[in-house]
Amino acid sequence: MNSDIAEVLFSREEINQKVQELAQKIDHEYGDKEIVTIGILRGAIFFMADILRAFKVKLVMDVMSVSSYGEKDITSSGQVKILNDIMINIKDRDVLIIEDIIDTGLTLYHVKRHLLDRGANSVKICTLLDKPSNRKFKVGSDYNGFIIPNEFVVGYGLGYDNRYRNLDYIGILKPEIYQN
C-alpha cells in the first residue's frame, strides 16, 4: 500500500467484482439495443476500460473531458468546464455516461443536461462511487457501484494533483497530503 493512503476502501478484486455486476445489469437492461457510452476523463478511464470490456451490449464509445476542480483542489470550484466535448452524433440515441464518482453532483448535472440538449433520446449514468453525503445537485446514478463516506479518495483513476491514479485499489488519502 502507498504510504500516503490512510485506508484501502476497495481492493482490486472487489472493484473487479462490482464492475462485472454493473455490466450484467446494463447488458440485461439494454439487451440488443446499441448504446453510446461516454466516459468522463480523467478519473473514469480505468473504470470505463474495465466495464466496456465486460459489456456484451452493442456500443459505440466516446469521451469527454470535464472539470470543476483545479489541480490541487479537493472541493469543486462550482464552475463546470467542458474541456473536450464528444465527437459522436448522439441525436435520438441512448447514452450511458460512465463516471468515477458522484460527489456534489455538479459535473454530472451539467453533463447530463448538455447531452440532452444535444438531442440524446435518453441519458443514464453509471458510476463506480457515490458520495451522497456531499450532494448539492439532484443527480443520481442509474447504475451505482459503491456508496462511500465523505472522505477524499484516490486510486483506480481518481487522483489528487494528478497523482495516485495508477493505484489498483481505491483508498482514502491521508489529510496531511492535501491540507498543506
Select from 155, 102, 107 the least CA-distant residue to 133: 102
Please name the residues in contact with 84: beta carbons below 8 A apart, sequence gap of 6 or more: 41, 63, 64, 65
Beta bridge partners of 146: 129
The three-class DSSP label of residue 138 is coil
Kindly name the residue from 50, 100, 103, 130 that is annotated as catalytic: 103
At 68, the amino acid letter reads: S
Query: 10 Å Cβ neighbour count for 164?
Result: 21
The three-class DSSP label of residue 169 is coil
Select from 170, 179, 163 the least CA-distant residue to 6: 170
Question: Is residue 103 flagged as an active site residue?
Answer: yes
DSSP letter (8 states) at residue 91:
T
Active site residues: 103
